[in-house]
Amino acid sequence: MKKRVEKAYKIAELMIRVFEIGLSFFIVIGIFIEGIMHAKRLWNVTFEGELQSFQIFLDNVLMYIIGLEVAMLFVKREPNIMVDILIFAIARKMIIDTSKGIDFMFGAFAILILFIVKCYGISCILLPGYFRRTANSPDSNPRSSDTQTQV
């Protein structure tokens, strides 16, 4: 009975994973098609010189970058990618919609906090064991700080 449940769980996990990869594939294709359409619009903006159109184009391009990051999140499933998506989203908001200095300061402070989370791994403190590195991972340190080398 336990083996059947484990097998059903593995099949369900595989189906969900295939669905996520397929969804990310469609997201990338949609972003590519929309990017081509907006590149044609940028060509018109270059010769017309409308700043409003360029602002809309920049807004869409930054949204496409966030969409690509979401697709990468579906495929890779790494916590650092989630932090990157939040950084891109806040930076996009700051570039497009920031009109007051206080909004810019809050956005910069939020990005600073996210970089601290990304670099120093506060997520390891919040969920111990979930993001634990394996011994053969590329970023694992062969010498830990609590191990003393004997001379």
Q: What's the pTM value of the predicted model, to 2 decimals?
A: 0.51
Query: What pLDDT is recorded for position 98?
Result: 66
User: Taking the C-alpha atoms of 148, 149, 150 and 151 in order, what is their torsion angle to the nearest 10 degrees?
Assistant: -130
pLDDT category of residue 145 using cuts at 50, 70 and 90? very low
Q: Which of 54-58, 111-115, 121-125 has the lowest mean pLDDT?
A: 121-125
* Helix, coil or strand: residue 100: coil
* Helix, coil or strand: residue 144: coil
62 alpha-carbon distance from chain centroid: 13
> Which has the closest alpha carbon to 94: 58, 67, 120, 47?
58
User: Residue 87: is its pLDDT beyond 80?
Assistant: yes
d(CA 84, CA 28): 18
The residues near 104 (Cβ < 8 Å, ≥ 6 apart) are 94, 98
Q: Where are the domains of the chain?
A: 1-77, 79-127
